[in-house]
Structure 1
Amino acid sequence: MKKRGIDLVIAAVCIAVIGIVFFYSDQVRGRGIIMATAALLLIVFLILAVRNTEEKKQAVGRLKLGLPTDAELITEIVLLSEEDTELMAWDMYGKMAMVIGRDVRENQVDIDLGSSSYASMVDIEHAVLNYSTGNWYVEDLGSSNGISVKKAEDGRVYKLSADTPCRIEKGDHLYVGLNRLLLR
């Protein structure tokens, strides 16, 4: 909303400059350049004001549909150490499903925790992340050590049942065995 207001104020200033140059044209040097520049800036800032309005309408539409806004979209999953340093990261942008596990050359694993500190606690195909209707879901594939989700909204840790999808959001942590993955 602030961006749109600023764009409209700048457009109004451009209109004022054009008016002043037009009415006092005999007292202004380089009036053609000034008017052309003001007209160009007027067009640019009116386009920006309209574009900001359209983006806001799209964001409101996403909220009404229960879809996450651009700021809430999960685009990356990060393996964290016990000291909260990033050890590995995987891009989730544009993906529809990702398997979490250990790559043993016979399977298709998208998030390979085989070289993590707690790799022995990760099954070959431990869990799957699925993208559906604008949201990501995690599902335990019947692993021996399970999967838990620490929700960002309340800080509570939830142990998942096998074959039961759980909606995840940006800022949540997944515990795969003792490995901690941050969704951002």
Structure 2
Amino acid sequence: MKRRVVDLFCACICLTVIGVAILYPNQIRARNTILVTAILLEVVFLILSIRDKEERKEAVGHLGMGLPSESELITEIVLLSEEDTELMTWDMYGKIAMIIGRDVKENQVDIDLGRSTYASMVDIEHAVLNYSIGNWYVEDLGSTNGISVKKAEDGRVYKLSADTPCRMERGDCLYVGLNRLLLR
């Protein structure tokens, strides 16, 4: 960004030199040489500023900072059995935060695993899913049995530290205790 500003500033200086050379032709020695040089430099600095802008767009895309495409959007979370059948589904579309846990009437959770096979391994408020800048993030709320994430891109399972958000992608699986939640 700073490079682009400097390039645009230099282009403005060249434009000023061109303007002065055109407005005061009789008062500048080697007017034609200065004019040609200023025009060439103007073109070079404009090209550099445009190139810097395009490089920045590419860098943002490579860092994963852009918004996900339609096919990458996570719109639901599914509780899977050990045989990969769907036991329960929760809609995530239009939400910005979802608490995962067990509903014991004194709290409200969005994803209630209280009736799941491994409900005893789920804390009352086990984890939270937060939506920010086009992505979902999961965070362990200091649970007893923790959270693990199986990333779709490499198939590896990662254990999360408490209070450390992890960016989720479509196809990732969350392990809440022994419960398996697929994000799709």
The alignment's TM-score, normalised by the length of structure 2, stands at: 0.65
1:83 partner SS: coil
Structure 2 match to 1:12: none
Instruction: Tell me how far 1:183 sits from its aligned partner.
Output: 0.2
Q: Deviations over 1:71-98 (max 9, x none)?
A: 1000000000000000000000000000
**Correspondence list, 1:75-94, <5 A:** 75-94=75-94
Instruction: Tell me how far 1:66 sits from its aligned partner.
Output: 1.4
Distance (Å, rounded) in 1 between the aligned partners of 2:78 and 2:163:
23
**Correspondence list, 1:139-154, <5 A:** 139-154=139-154
Structure 2 match to 1:156: 156
Distance (Å, rounded) in 2 between the aligned partners of 1:127 and 1:153:
22
Which amino acid counterpart does residue 69 of structure 1 have in structure 2? S
Instruction: Tell me how far 1:115 sits from its aligned partner.
Output: 0.1
Structure 2 match to 1:10: none
Instruction: Tell me how far 1:167 sits from its aligned partner.
Output: 0.2
Distance (Å, rounded) in 1 between the aligned partners of 2:104 and 2:163:
23
Distance (Å, rounded) in 2 between the aligned partners of 1:176 and 1:103:
15
Count of aligned residue pairs for this structure pair = 124
Distance (Å, rounded) in 1 between the aligned partners of 2:68 and 2:150:
19
Which amino acid counterpart does residue 148 of structure 1 have in structure 2? S
1:120 partner SS: helix
Distance (Å, rounded) in 2 between the aligned partners of 1:154 and 1:110:
29
**2:71 is the counterpart of 1:71:** yes
Distance (Å, rounded) in 1 between the aligned partners of 2:106 and 2:66:
39
Instruction: Tell me how far 1:128 sits from its aligned partner.
Output: 0.1
Greater shift, 160-169 or 64-73, is seen at 64-73
**2:108 is the counterpart of 1:108:** yes
2:89 partner SS: strand
Structure 1 match to 2:25: none
Distance (Å, rounded) in 2 between the aligned partners of 1:106 and 1:91:
23
Which amino acid counterpart does residue 102 of structure 1 have in structure 2? R
Query: Among the aligned pairs, what percent are the same residue?
Result: 85
Distance (Å, rounded) in 2 between the aligned partners of 1:183 and 1:166:
13
Distance (Å, rounded) in 1 between the aligned partners of 2:120 and 2:108:
18
Unaligned ranges ≥5, structure 2: 1-56
1:77 partner SS: strand
Which amino acid counterpart does residue 84 of structure 2 have in structure 1? D
Structure 1 match to 2:127: 127
Report runs of 4+ in structure 1 exceeding 3 Å deviation.
none
Structure 2 match to 1:171: 171
Unaligned ranges ≥5, structure 1: 1-59
How much is the aligned-residue C-alpha RMSD, in angstroms?
A: 1.5
1:71 partner SS: helix
Instruction: Tell me how far 1:67 sits from its aligned partner.
Output: 1.1
Structure 2 match to 1:53: none
